[in-house]
Structure 1
Amino acid sequence: MTSEAAVTPDHGTTASGSSFYAAMRILPREQREAMFQIYSFCRQVDDIADSEGPRPERLGALQQWRDDIDALYRGHPPPRLSDYVASVGRFDLKREDFLAIIDGMEMDVPQDIRAPDLATLDLYCDRVASAVGRLSVRVFGLPEEDGILLAHHLGRALQLTNILRDIDEDAAIGRLYLPRESLLLAGITSDDPLKVVADRALPKACPSLVARARAHFEKADEVMRRNRRRAVRAPRIMSKYYRAILELLVARGFAGPRTPVRVSKMAKTAILLRYALI
């Protein structure tokens, strides 16, 4: 699953090696602990959705997480969520955002997502990315209205960047997140992931998604510019890091063979120095 929100870890990495870790380590202890709890929750439900187990078993495991979240908010947390009690109370984390994340992960389970229409893609991004952002901005201490707005735009920007970055990786496991409208615009009518990624017209399907991601990055920047620097340090680092990934993808192009893109260590360090320390 290409699920990476304002705080969700790099797909296929551990916390200690991710951009998430670099952004979160600058936070005060209580905020950092809450963010790693959110991280852990996202990682665990993501792993269920991405596992190779039978689909009914995965659906059952996700339902158990829903039951556990409900128990947490009823005051009877199961052992795996006992450490969350303090963070939920301290930062007023919302039950519906945890549940939305589970709903988003579940969208891949009954059957793999393949060429969703734009409305379905946006719903997916809201659940697996912006819902994580809505939990995160409460931890960061942003005002309610701007926090929700930042989560909306930055979550979608990061998720769309991931979709563009992971086209081949997702196709290898039978998934295709590029929207149907973009594919049809490029003259691609198939929704078979392996056929689509091998189609020479694929590069024509990507610019509209790039434009959409850039627009969300710009809107997120507007929100961050009008808020306290300390409150937006972590999301700003994530934003700059993923904007760099997006621009590397554009510079590389989307014609095959598509080599992976990575932000250099020097560029990562420059982002951290500018937005975390200065």
Structure 2
Amino acid sequence: MTPDEYCQQKAARSGSSFYYSFLFLPPEQRRAITALYAFCREVDDVVDECQDPQIAATKLAWWRQELSRVYAGQPQHPVTQALQAVSREFDLPEEQLQEIIDGMEMDLQQSRYLDFKALSLYCYRVAGVVGLLAAGIFGFQDRRTQKYAHDLGLAFQLTNIIRDVGEDARMGRIYLPIDELQRFEVTAADILNARHTDNFERLMAFQIERAESYYTQALEALPSADRRAQRPGLVMAAIYRTLLDEIKADRCRVLTQRTSLTPVRKLWIAWRTWVRG
């Protein structure tokens, strides 16, 4: 199996909305974004699948060294071998890839966030940076597109947090800011014990409204000259906003279930958004 085939399998198996967003890209861009996505999955899996935080930290340290080997021309892992092949062509800075690992390390160091400012740093590292790297792969002429990419990455991560409240709670994590829990009179115990209350619904409606504001902010920042090049991000935004609509229609029952869209529906949204440009 070649490094590119490994990355392709990693992306396809995930069933992520991200995968559907780059189906229609030209081969070289698809190869680059697939390698980036596979890298994100590898380091994210370290945190999600390792029960022992010390083992997870050791594995993330190995990935840090492996990124250095990419830029020294000596990568060992199929994903980093694929990244090396595209890193120069698409100017992927090592510093930004390392920041993604910084975000993953935050998951090992804390399971609560005091306020949205603290959560924003986490979202930037695990998703905003990915948005910036992806925008570079897709190509842009206007620097304002970087603002779009940053905000869109945050919107995606906020959507993930909303969708995964129950799943994260079962791993002992609550990403909803503590001060917002207090404002809506929802306790950590309510979330950890999957107690769906009217207050919880109001809290989640607030989270959805903020995520939607980031989508709006991002799309308003995207210069028309770069809209066509940035279609993969627009595809993912369309899929994720549909997901938010489904969660809202289901009264935010995210504590006991994980709302998702079928592959056929994702593909339909992706094709429709791509054609519209």
TM range (shorter): 0.7 to 0.9
In 1, the alpha carbon distance for the partners of 2:62 and 2:258 equals 36
**What stretches of structure 2 of length at least 5 have no aligned partner?**
1-7
Q: Deviations over 1:75-104 (max 9, x none)?
A: 443354233223110011111110111011
Of the three residues 237, 240, 244, the one matched with 1:239 is: 237
Equivalent residue of 1:82, what SS? helix
Q: Supply the RMSD in Å over aligned alpha carbons.
A: 2.5
User: TM (normalized to structure 2)?
Assistant: 0.86
| Percentage of matched positions with identical amino acids | 35
What residue in structure 2 maps to residue 108 of structure 1? 107
2:128 counterpart of 1:134: no
- 1:183-198 aligned at under 5 Å gives the runs 183-190=181-188, 193-195=191-193, 197-198=194-195
Of the three residues 120, 123, 127, the one matched with 1:122 is: 120
Equivalent residue of 2:92, what SS? coil
Of the three residues 19, 22, 25, the one matched with 1:27 is: 25
What residue in structure 1 maps to residue 4 of structure 2? none
2:81 counterpart of 1:85: no
Equivalent residue letter for 1:51:
E
> 1:267 Cα shift?
4.4
Contact residue 133 and residue 155 of structure 1 kept, 8 A:
yes
Contact residue 32 and residue 83 of structure 2 kept, 8 A:
yes
Contact residue 127 and residue 157 of structure 2 kept, 8 A:
yes
**Using a 3 Å threshold, how does the CA distance of structure 1 residues 16 and 210 change in structure 2: closer, same or farther?**
closer
Work out the number of aligned pairs and report it.
Answer: 266
In 2, the alpha carbon distance for the partners of 1:173 and 1:65 equals 23
- 1:176-215 aligned at under 5 Å gives the runs 176-190=174-188, 193-195=191-193, 197-198=194-195, 200=197, 201-215=199-213
> 1:190 Cα shift?
3.5
In 2, the alpha carbon distance for the partners of 1:139 and 1:257 equals 36
What residue in structure 2 maps to residue 227 of structure 1? 225
- Which deviates more from structure 2 when the two are superposed, residues 77-86 or residues 95-104? 77-86
- 1:147-158 aligned at under 5 Å gives the runs 147-158=145-156
In 2, the alpha carbon distance for the partners of 1:259 and 1:105 equals 24
> 1:257 Cα shift?
6.8
- Which deviates more from structure 2 when the two are superposed, residues 128-137 or residues 216-225? 216-225
- Which deviates more from structure 2 when the two are superposed, residues 252-261 or residues 37-46? 252-261
> 1:119 Cα shift?
1.5
In 2, the alpha carbon distance for the partners of 1:269 and 1:79 equals 30
Equivalent residue letter for 1:110:
Q
Equivalent residue of 1:187, what SS? coil
What residue in structure 1 maps to residue 269 of structure 2? 271
**Using a 3 Å threshold, how does the CA distance of structure 1 residues 265 and 110 change in structure 2: closer, same or farther?**
closer
2:66 counterpart of 1:96: no
Equivalent residue of 2:109, what SS? coil
User: TM (normalized to structure 1)?
Assistant: 0.86
**Using a 3 Å threshold, how does the CA distance of structure 1 residues 225 and 243 change in structure 2: closer, same or farther?**
farther
> 1:254 Cα shift?
2.6
Equivalent residue letter for 1:210:
I
> 1:15 Cα shift?
4.1
**What stretches of structure 1 of length at least 5 have no aligned partner?**
1-8
In 1, the alpha carbon distance for the partners of 2:218 and 2:23 equals 22
In 1, the alpha carbon distance for the partners of 2:104 and 2:116 equals 18
- Which deviates more from structure 2 when the two are superposed, residues 148-157 or residues 262-271? 262-271
> 1:71 Cα shift?
2.3
